[in-house]
Amino acid sequence: MKPLNIVVIGAVAGGATVSSQLRRFLPDANITVIGKDSRMGFATCGMPYVLGGLVESMDSLVSVTPELFRDKKSIDVRLRHEATEIDRPGKKVIVRDLDSGETEALPYDKLVLSPGGSARTPEIPGSPSIPVFTLRHFDDMAEFENYLERTHPQRGLVIGGGFIGVELAENFRQLGIHTELVEHHGRIMPISDPDMSGLLEQEMKENGVVLHLGREVRSVTGDRVCLDDGSEFRADFIAAAVGLVPNTELAEEAGLTIGPTGGIATDPFMRTSDPDIYAIGDAAEGRDWFTGKPKRVPLAWSTHREAFIAANHIAGGNTEMDGLLGTSITKLFSLTAGMTGMSEQMLKEENMAFKTIIHESRSNAGYFPGNGKLRLKIHYDPDTRLILGAQAVGEKGADKRIDIIATAIRGRMTMDDLAAIEIAYSPAYSSPKDPVNMAGYKSMDRPGNRTDGK
């Protein structure tokens, strides 16, 4: 059989992973990877920590190189190249060298789209004299880091209170920068429940971040920022973290179906509306674990899983992408905040009946040094008692509990099962009845009854 010609568009997390998996499954395939950035396979999630100095070098975020892929995997990686057109009838991709301007047509049998997304840049009325930064590409980080090291700014404005916004605010405070954060929602981390967001807001205030919640930037004149409530303050720079726009232009121009979330529509094997073209990562649309409705989760775990699914299917496998929980976690000063599955707002929007259990405790034995506060919140179906979602905020151990519950959801376990999970115990790590166990016990309103048929 003639070796497959496979072209991968995008060389960051999804593109690097899918090409590696393809080589593992298809040792004879001809694989070419096209990337617009100056680096490949870099860890975008680590960028705020490079700026804050917790990660010493931005080069630490680069795990692979084109030379490594060429020498170890026989994969042709072309950085600083852009795919400008997909010729579906001719099964060719038109690629332009961004440095020389030369173009080339690359034939493909299978094409994988991993174009990622572009950072949204908010419109800032007025006449600002201060720089506005976004953090999406490797060169964005390099430019931002250079500015911080060269000018040593004293005051910064963060626009956006999601994952990247709060992480940037923390890292600016670590640098001693007076930081003000503007979020148009009435709370930070609006994806989580209000009471859990409140814990994070308090942590930010205690660490010197000035919050402007439910507010918008009205104008910036010089270095003077004016909000829509009339308040004003100075800033030396603006860091915008207001989400991303999936890069679907190439797919749209090729006539591929775009789903209701704005991502490239895919089937459970990550195939687009063209069976020879696959889409993965931030620009791809999957489906929700609970509802089966279209869902786009621009996070690293889902990208890597989708990369495996696509490579496996191209190689003849039939493993499906069976739904996304949106499991996520972030560090914020002394706290960790994690979640999986449905939030209160999501459940209400879907008109799904649910009950909620909240358990507040220490992360491990209270007498053991280094224990921390932990708040665990779980939503579940009142009839089947299946777990619908969970959130945890704490000084220690939030990650462990969210990971256990994400596993329990995929295993279709009930609240009763949470009480029965035999969790490893030592005073340094847990309690004889772990917070996960306790949440299960607290949900039982009748002695010894089960409703899951086991």
For residues 124 and 3, give the distance between their C-alpha atoms in angstroms, rounded to a whole number. 52
Nearest to 399 by CA among 447, 335, 446, 344: 335
Q: How many CB atoms lie within 10 A of CB 259?
A: 19
Beta strands in 333-383 (DSSP E): 335-341, 355-362, 373-380
CA 8 from chain center: how many Å?
21
**Which residues, including other chains, have CB under 8 Å from residue 152's CB and lie 6 or more apart?**
none
**Burial, 196: exposed, middle or buried (Cβ in 10 Å; 0-12, 13-18, 19+)?**
buried
* Nearest CA-CA partner of 265 in 285, 249, 283: 285
- Report, in angstroms and rounded to the nearest whole number, the Rg of the chain calculated over CA atoms: 24
In the chain, the amino acid numbered 98 is L
The 3-state DSSP class for residue 288 equals strand
Phi-psi region of 234 (alpha: psi -120 to 50; beta: other; left: phi over 0): beta
Of the CA atoms within 13 Å of residue 28, those in its CB half-sphere come to: 4
Strand order in the sheet with 178-183: 132-133, 237-240, 155-159, 178-183, 210-213
Rounded to an integer, what distance in angstroms lies between the CA atom of residue 356 and that of residue 362? 20
Strand partners, 78: 34
Query: Is residue 45 annotated as a catalytic residue, yes or no?
Result: yes
- For 223-316, strand residue ranges (E) read 224-227, 232-234, 237-240, 244-246, 264-265, 277-279, 284-287, 294-295
Other C-beta atoms lying within 10 Å of the C-beta of residue 181: 26
**Strands of 11-51, DSSP E:** 30-35
* Annotated catalytic residue, options 45, 199, 226, 245: 45
Number of other CB atoms surrounding residue 20 within 10 Å? 21
**Are the CB atoms for 341 and 350 separated by under 8 Å?**
no
Q: Diameter of the chain by CA atoms?
A: 74
Q: Which amino acid is at 57?
A: S
Q: Which amino acid is at 244?
A: L
Q: CA-CA distance, 435 to 412, in Å (whole number)? A: 19
Please give the positions annotated as active site: 45
